[in-house]
Amino acid sequence: MKLIAILFLCSRLLTSLAQEDQPQEIDCNDEDVFKAVDAALKKYNDGSKSGNQFVLYRITEGNKTEDQDIFYSVKYEIKEGDCSVQSNKTWQDCDYKEPGQAATGECMATIGKRWIMEFSVATQTCHITPAEGPVVTSQYECHGCVHPIRTVPPDLDPVLRHAIQHFNSHTNHSHLFALKEVEKAQRQMVSGWNYEVTYLIQQTNCSKENFKVLTPDCKALRNGDTGECTDLAYMDPQLRIASFSQKCEIFPGDDFTIGCFGCPSSIPVDSPDLKEALNHSITKLNAENNATFYFKIDIVHRATSQVVSGFKYFIEFTARETTCSKESNKELTESCEINKLGEILRCTADVYYRVGGKNRIDSTVKCQSPEKTTLMRRPPGFSPFRSVQVAETKEGTTKQLRPCVYKGRPQETGAEQTSESEVS
């Protein structure tokens, strides 16, 4: 009998202990439930920088979980009040706005009770419906919880700037690196903020020999070295980076010709990197050309890029005359159509982007008509001389040009001797 009694008491004890960790539904009129909702609603109103405060309408659900601390899970409804968030009033001092003019909302919150009278909001999500308009959702992040950052917020910029400066200052790479892409980030609210960020970096054209820090002239090299870094940073309440650690892995570029200053490499003719160089080239062509109509680029045939103390592009392209005259149009625009019967030019352009200083862009554009190019390419044996044939007409004597007949050099075996009449 004693053994049965002991087993019965143990089972009752285990059951009671298990039930302590389970949520218990409680009366919404419970005083502690009201204090928990009061703390949650004040937290929500304090987070608003403009507009009116919200006033409690009713509590619809309440649960309590007891462990070492007590937690209340509540659901409550709110309505917009008639006093602003900057009035220094509590929501209890406000009245509801007129029904047709008041926004409404429903909130779910978890509130902890650690001391006899202290309530701390852990999580809260409110769905607000304006008087006229769609539902707006706001969320309060709990103190101490780690939350992923889906988009890069402005307050992450100081961490990223510090990270890039730290990498460039503490590595032996010959060139500076720039941020390429943030892969993932998360943040924890403590007495300040803890950040964990993983991101990609890319080598730029700025060497450490010539540049101490990154400038707007430092551009990422398309085939340069890349890297992946993971940083841990703590930002104190004064928004200063108080502690920082970094771990990076560097991957060599696919084609290390980018390290060869003065070595050109081919780039696709439709590369976005060429857009500015092409615009500068056609602008200079039209400025130096005395033609009545503007020219625009029709086809880009070939392009190379070169890393020097900046960037240098060599481009071959065909430009064609448009229907826009320089007299009636201030500049070449997208609406200027190509004149199919107009002049055609075959051009080469050298465009040089200097790093820093004035007159950053310098270019040389040379163009020639395809007809002139054809005349310069004479077939083997073609002679520029022509024999003169005299013809008598009623009006007088005229001279006509007739081509020389080429039959090989006399000393060649089998070559027919050129008669005197054929060259006279």
Pair 151, 166: CB distance under 8 Å: no
Domain count along the chain? 4
Q: Is 267 exposed, middle or buried (0-12, 13-18, 19+ CB in 10 A)?
A: middle
Find the mean pLDDT for residues 83-112: 88
pLDDT at 184: 87
Are 171 and 243 in the same domain? yes
Cβ-based neighbours of 318, under 8 Å, separated by 6 or more = 297, 298, 299, 301, 344, 345, 346, 347
Domain, as residue range, for 182 = 148-257
Are 182 and 111 in the same domain? no
Provide the 3-class DSSP secondary structure of residue 210.
coil
- The domain boundary, picked from 78, 108, 143, lies at 143
130-149: burial string, b at 16+ Cβ within 10 Å, e else: eeeeeeeeeebeeeeeeeeb
| Stronger pLDDT, 257 or 33, i.e. the higher one | 33
Are 359 and 393 in the same domain? no
Are 368 and 396 in the same domain? no
Q: Is it the case that residue 12 has pLDDT exceeding 60?
A: no
Are 133 and 162 in the same domain? no
Please state the φ and ψ torsions of residue 212, each to the nearest 5 degrees.
Answer: -85, -35
Are 333 and 363 in the same domain? yes
pLDDT at 416: 43
Share of the chain above pLDDT 90, in %: 30
Are 56 and 120 in the same domain? yes
What confidence tens digit (pLDDT) does each residue in 316-359 have? Answer: 999 999 999 988 888 888 889 999 899 999 999 998 877 655 55
Query: What pTM did the predictor assign?
Result: 0.37
Look up residue 166 and give its two tokens.
Answer: 């730290």
| 381, part of any domain | no
What confidence tens digit (pLDDT) does each residue in 164-186 have? Answer: 999 999 998 889 999 988 888 88
Pair 125, 110: CB distance under 8 Å: no
Q: Give the CATH number of the domain where residue 166 resides.
A: 3.10.450.10
* ∠ CA 143-149-150, rounded to 5°: 145
Q: Is it the case that residue 392 has pLDDT exceeding 50?
A: no
Q: Is it the case that residue 90 has pLDDT exceeding 70?
A: yes
Q: What is d(CA 247, CA 321) in angstroms, rounded to the nearest whole number?
A: 56
